[in-house]
Structure formats: structure tokens, C-alpha cells
């Protein structure tokens, strides 16, 4: 499993947090999503069938902006 960590902005409330988590979990190959609104961070676990660009697009489509990214394999 690959993992990527993003520092993001735009998680104003628990509704946005829930929307973000639900949207990411609908992507094929996503195995884990942890959203920490207080730290403005999100960690996503995914397999090789998932493209990181799809994850980024999903985050941005919910209305959040990515500030920083760290990938781990």
C-alpha cells in the first residue's frame, strides 16, 4: 500500500471533512482516509491502481486547496 500525506486548507467544518472523506473513499483503490481538520492534514492509503492526480483532483473538487504533499510507499 502506498500512502500520501497532504497539508490542505479549506476544511471549515465537520461537513466539509465528511464530504472530503466520502469523496476520497469512492475512488477505486483507496484503502484508508484520515482527515485531521485541526491540523489541516489528510492521509490517504491507496494501491497501485490509483493515480495521485486523481486524489489531488478529488480534494480540490470538494473545495480544499493543497499546500504541501509527502508521499510514502
Domain ranges of the chain: 2-72
Global pTM value: 0.90
Fold that domain 2-72 belongs to in CATH: Alpha-Beta Plaits (3.30.70)
Q: Is 71's pLDDT higher than 90?
A: no
DSSP secondary-structure letter at 50? S
Percent of the chain topping pLDDT 90: 82
* Cα pseudo-dihedral 72, 47, 19, 40, rounded to 10: 0
Amino acid at each position: 500500500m502506498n500512502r500520501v500525506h497532504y497539508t490542505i486548507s479549506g476544511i471549515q467544518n465537520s461537513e466539509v471533512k465528511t464530504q472530503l472523506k466520502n469523496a476520497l473513499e469512492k475512488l477505486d483503490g483507496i484503502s484508508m482516509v484520515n482527515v485531521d481538520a485541526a491540523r489541516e492534514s489528510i492521509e490517504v492509503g491507496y494501491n497501485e491502481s490509483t493515480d495521485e492526480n486523481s486524489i489531488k483532483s478529488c480534494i480540490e473538487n470538494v473545495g480544499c486547496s493543497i499546500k504541501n504533499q509527502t508521499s510514502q510507499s
